[in-house]
Structure 1
Amino acid sequence: MSRNDLKSSLHALIDGIDDTAVLQAYLILLSREAKSQEDFWGNLDSNTKAAIDEGIADFDSGKHSDFFDHMKSAYGIER
């Protein structure tokens, strides 16, 4: 089922609900879901953004290592 088909089905189901409490519950649920999909980038401080950008640049340039190798060398933690 395509995304448009899913949306149409949801619209049809919602149109058929007459109970205000149920509609309010779905409004709350869908509002939370929509908000959780907002881009968090704008909420990050400049230091965090810079660190993320640095990590992406390192990865793009081929500078990356295995997580478990890092944990072992940096903290002595093995699998």
Structure 2
Amino acid sequence: MSKNDLKSSLHALIEGIEDTAVLQAYLILLSREVKSQEDFWETIDSKTKLAIEEGLADFAQGRDQDFFQYMKTAHGVER
């Protein structure tokens, strides 16, 4: 069965449901599925996106540093 056939079958089944509670349950279930497919990148703020992009650029150019070394250098925190 193709994706379009499945969607048509689901639509036909939903059209036949009269119980509001059942319809609400399916709405919640389907809404969660759609939300779980969202790309997290679209949900983060621009400041965080910029920081990630800078980190990836640093890494691509060979500028990477061990976390513990960074904490020691930047914040004076020793292991």
Q: What displacement does 1:52 show? A: 5.0
Name the CA distance, whole Å, in 2 between partners of 1:27 and 1:13: 13
Residue number among 47, 56, 60 corresponding to 2:51 in the alignment: 47
Matched to 1:29, the amino acid is L
1:20 Cα offset (Å)? 0.5
Q: How does 1:25-64 map to 2 (within 5 A)?
A: 25-42=25-42, 43=44, 45=48, 46-51=50-55
TM-score, normalised relative to structure 1: 0.57
* Partner residue in 1 for 2:76: none
Report the Cα distance in structure 2 between the residues aligned to 1:30 and 1:2, rounded to whole angstroms: 19
**Residue 16 to residue 22, structure 1, CA distance change in 2 (3 Å):** same
CA gap 1:53/1:18 in 2 versus in 1, 3 angstroms: farther
Question: Which residues of structure 2 form unaligned runs of 5+?
Answer: 62-79
Q: Which string of whole-angstrom CA distances, capped at 9 and with x for unpartnered residues, describes residues 24-45 of structure 1?
A: 0000111111111122112262
CA RMSD after TM alignment: 2.4
| Counterpart Cα distance in 1 of 2:20 and 2:33 | 20
d(CA) in 2 for partners of 1:18, 1:40:
35
Q: Which has the larger radius of gyration?
A: 2
Q: Does 1:16 align with 2:20?
A: no
